Structure formats: C-alpha cells, structure tokens
Structure 1
C-alpha cells in the first residue's frame, strides 16, 4: 500500500480564497473589514516568524491586522490592562496573544482575560467548555483545520477508532473532544495518550485515525500503526541536518518514510497541518466580525 498525501497547503489555499471572497462580500454589503489584533510579549524569534506568517495571510484574505509589542518585562497586571483595552475596543474583532509568554506570566490567566467573543484562537475556558458541550463556539484552529482536511478528502470519522497522541490544551485535548462530538462531525470512539501512557503502541496499533501532536520527532514508527490507518502529523520539529544550509531540517512526530507505504492517508511535514491552522484563524476572525457565534 502506498499512502495518499493529504496536501494541507493546497486545501488551505482554496480555503483562503473562499474566505477572501466572503470578506469582500461582507465589506461590499457596507461593513468594515474584519480586524485582528495580535499581541506579542518579548521578541522570541519563532513567535515573530509565526506572526509575520499570520500577518501575511491576513493581507491575502483582506483582513486588517496590527501587532502590539510589549517588553518581556511587562507585569501580569499591565498585560491584562492592555487586553482589557482591546476587549473594550469595538473596532477589534479578534484578539490573538502569541504564545509562549515569558515564564513570569501565566498563559492561562492571560487567555482567560480575553473576551471570549474575541477569542479567535479558541482557547478561552468559555469556548473550550462550549466545545465540550457540543455547542457553537470558536474552535481551536489546528483541530478545526484537521477536520477541514477530513472533509476535503472525504475521510470518514464516524464509528472509527481515533487515537490522539499528545494532550495539550492547544491541539490534543480539543482534538479528542471534537473527534468524539456529533456537531463537530466526529462521532469517533476516541483515545487520548500522553507522556504518562504506558505502552503507547498498544493504543496506536488499533487506531483507524491517528493524530500525533507530541512534539517529539519521529516518535511514531511503522510498527506502531496498523495497515491502512489515517495518520495526521501535527508535529513540527527542528532536527540536525548537515546537508542543509540552515544546519537543520523540519521533521514531524511521525517517521514519514517508514509509514508512507503502510498507511492509507498521511500529512507531510511541512505542508500538512500547519497551513490549515493559519487559514482557520482567518475563518474565526471573519466569524467574530460577523458575530455569527456570539450575536450582540
């Protein structure tokens, strides 16, 4: 068996084009352009790179955006005061606080200070709670992007055994919730594994759908999955590569080379899940502007 490639870059491109058309229609109907406010604390190079990518896609789809930079010495009180100002600014539709934050700041406290109606990342407890209850909400962008891939490639989840490796609040936990929920088009029997799980292979080997977001390069090998499984690799890791000008290459959490001849579908790294995450952020920002989820 040779796996079919799940091309997230292609799907994200088509999705962004649809969002651009929706934004144009929204503006042509007399509304202002959706506005995404990004907040960065400090100057972490990786965070700056991610913000540049998000800003570029905002421009592509016609969403206005601006980034506020705060020093990494900012206090928790000062940071929350800035977020409160954004909450009270009616010209701002979506708020994104770029993670991670400096160690003296609590990401949980900062996220909770965001107005849940502007939480386009889908991290606020209100939105996570509504997701758990299968109610309309802003969905975490990476899991939502994965479901768009399932839809595009007609990969069924209903009645399947789905295994999620990694229990983060950003990917693993919301992914497991969505896989098990009817309104998320999941309806799968779902298992979630984490660093305390004993014998991960005992779980992954039975998965019809395997989603891996563990942050450990090449964790999942061919002998850990069954023939014909669907593999979604969320990981993006830098591994040493002397042949590269940068001295490293990007690798997923799955051993792509050993898996590609055993599974039915697989996402590459890069070019798989990553582009979908940013596209879904754009979709959430448009929904926030339209007040589709939380009407006034």
Structure 2
C-alpha cells in the first residue's frame, strides 16, 4: 500500500504491470491497466491520468495535469533468455481493497508470450538463412489417418512454422497404413539431412494394429523435437536438461511459471495427471528446478487436500473443470493444460472450450492463472518451434552426445 507523502503523492495500491486498481472505501485512486512505458489516458469511466513510467519510477506532475503516482514493489518480470522485453501477462479485472479475502488472479497470457517468442525465432531464422546461404531448419509432421482434431493441430503447427521461416512439411499416410509402412517412413526421415525435426502426430489412426511406443521410439533422438523418445525422456528424468529435447507442453508451462516472478526453487508444486506427454515430464522439470513436487492421479484419495498445499499447480487431467477454486491455496500459480468441450447453447457450435480448472472460482483465489484458451496451448506450439530452431542451431557446442548435425558442419 502506498500512503500519502508530503509531496502530495496519490494513494495507490501496490500492483504488477497490467493490474487495474479499483477505488475502495479508503480512497485509493483508480488506475487503468497498462504496460510499462505506456501512456494512460483518462476514459469515460473517470480513470485517473497517470504518466507513463518504468515500474518503481517516481511519476512527477506535468503541465497536462498528470497525477503523481509512486509504484510500490512491482513484481519483476522473468522473461528468461528467450524473450527480450515486454510483459506477457496483464491483470484484466479490478482488484479488491487491501485486507479483503477476495482477490482476482493475474492472467498469464500464453498468447502474448508466444507472439514475442515467434518474433524472436523469425529474426533468428532470417539471420541463419543469410549467414548460411539460404539454409533453413526443416520440420516434418507425420500423420496416420485423417482425424479432424489432428488436422487442426497440424494446421496450427504448419502455420506457425511458415510465419517463422521454418521449412515445414506434412506427410499423411492412409488409415490402412501398416506398422511396417509407418516405420519405413520414419527411417527415411531420420536419414534426411534437410529435416531437423520430426513429429509423429498422435493418435495413430489406422485400421491396423500399431504399437505407438515402438513408432515414437523409432524417431531419431536428435530429431525428436516433441521430446517423447525413451532417450530424451530418460535424460529429462535424470536431470540432463541441457542434453535433451524437453517436451513442448511442460516446457511451455515452465516458461509461463517463470513469467510470474514466483521462485520455483523451494516451492511446493503439485502436478495433476501423469501422462507421458504432460504430467510425468512436468514433474521432472519442476523437480530439477528444485521444487518439492507431488504428482496426483486417478488413484489419489485426498485430491483437494493435496491441491490446497500447492504454491504452483499444473493440471493436465483431461477432465473438464474438475479442480475447484475453493481447493486452491490463496495466491497460488495455476497452470491449466486442459482442453475440454462442454455444451453451451449460447455458442453457434453448441459447445465451448474449458480447461481442467473451474476458472470462475479459481480466479478468486489464485495469484496467477492461465486462461483456456490462450494460455498453455499457444506456448506448446511456440516451444515446438523453439525446439526445432533455437535449441539445435544457435549453439554449436550443444549438440549433445547423440551426434546432432549442427550448423557449423554445413560450413
């Protein structure tokens, strides 16, 4: 709380960039949500005039009558090495008065963060293409069958790759493809030096019996940009984070958590779900970032109690709105990986997308929360592009022990 000063500073609640400060009975000034450096203009709702500023900077009055505002203890933005500047989350609703039991969570925008990442990757690919005579990272998506949901996911990946400048290809095998035919396709891609990342789109939609684990592990670990092969999963489980591809969704979740400024090391983290794509690798990532981690699953008998202990909660259970807001520890970071469709007659499609967390109630107790959609999903795609490009090509000394073909070998 910022109290009045002798120099006449307005009284303003402490806040993070993007927070809306509501008026309270104690006379707090109203401040429009903003990003650092943005000019805040008055609106029809009577918001106070506030000069653009850097968090923590003293705002002086000007001839235009801007209010005096001091920024108290803003939360630092941890953008990590992959982002250069700019916040990727905003508080989009009014906060309550100090001392009130009701709070509104800060939205962690994966959509905004992924835009910044994709722009950086685009610049790096352009630089790479210039320095290495037209060379581009190559990505191939292998699909079996013609599922509508798979087609949608693939389309999103191909679009993102095209925007960045990655040379992406899509190979679709018919739903009559045999296991042998799928393996042959993978072996061919493994030997193709122009393709640096290979994704096997799951599920494999074939009328024939195909061993999914066998297919995934046929992918060369050096091209496993999904991070799902036994070799990459094993390295992750042993803490060799700099010598493997990290699975895209958990990696995206970690970046979103870092955005909050909350310290992972020493925190109590709870992961709901133990899938090989999200839950299990998420547990390992949090563990090797020094959190104390509990994984809950369908056999967990005291789920609300476990959730209530979490400073950081990552949910990937695949069950619509199963985590209730009243279970949460107040101020927790909530990362919702769920994508579920529930009936909604107000929508033209008759349904709407929700996460695994009951957003309306969780928003009242969490400190930070990802929306669905617009949270984890965009970051998953962004991390796939990051794995295909930056993880392999920006550092010639990070090839790993599996003899990755790095750029310096093309010189």
**TM-score category of the 2 structures, normalised to the smaller one:** over 0.9
After TM superposition, give the deviation of residue 37 of structure 1 in Å. Answer: 0.6
Range that drifts further, 266-275 or 94-103? 94-103
Contact 1:118–1:288 (Cα < 8 Å) also in 2: no
Residue ranges of structure 1 left out of the alignment (5+ in a row): none
Among 240, 253, 276, the alignment partner of 1:169 is 276
After TM superposition, give the deviation of residue 152 of structure 1 in Å. Answer: 2.8
SS for the counterpart of 2:217 is helix
- 2:111 corresponds to which residue? 9
For 1:1-296, list aligned pairs within 5 A: 1-30=103-132, 32-102=135-205, 104-135=209-240, 136=242, 137-181=244-288, 186-286=289-389, 287-289=391-393, 292-294=398-400, 295-296=404-405
Which is greater in Rg?
2
Distance (Å, rounded) in 1 between the aligned partners of 2:130 and 2:239: 33
SS for the counterpart of 1:155 is coil
Distance (Å, rounded) in 1 between the aligned partners of 2:269 and 2:335: 11
Distance (Å, rounded) in 1 between the aligned partners of 2:278 and 2:157: 18
How many matched pairs?
292
Contact 1:163–1:210 (Cα < 8 Å) also in 2: yes
Deviations 1:219-249 (A, max 9, x none): 0002211111111000010111111001110
Contact 2:199–2:225 (Cα < 8 Å) also in 1: yes
After TM superposition, give the deviation of residue 4 of structure 1 in Å. Answer: 0.4
Distance (Å, rounded) in 1 between the aligned partners of 2:364 and 2:248: 29
Residue ranges of structure 2 left out of the alignment (5+ in a row): 1-102, 406-411
Deviations 1:62-114 (A, max 9, x none): 10111001011111111101100000111110000101113622221111000
Q: How large is the RMSD of aligned CA atoms in angstroms?
A: 1.2
After TM superposition, give the deviation of residue 267 of structure 1 in Å. Answer: 0.4
After TM superposition, give the deviation of residue 119 of structure 1 in Å. Answer: 0.2
Range that drifts further, 39-48 or 22-31? 22-31
Name the structure, 1 or 2, with higher relative contact order (CA <8 Å, separation 6+): 1
After TM superposition, give the deviation of residue 288 of structure 1 in Å. Answer: 3.6
SS for the counterpart of 1:113 is coil
SS for the counterpart of 1:163 is strand
SS for the counterpart of 1:19 is helix
TM-score of the two chains, using structure 2 as the length reference? 0.69
After TM superposition, give the deviation of residue 251 of structure 1 in Å. Answer: 0.3
Range that drifts further, 221-230 or 63-72? 221-230
After TM superposition, give the deviation of residue 289 of structure 1 in Å. Answer: 4.9
More helix by share: 1
SS for the counterpart of 2:176 is coil
Contact 1:212–1:234 (Cα < 8 Å) also in 2: yes
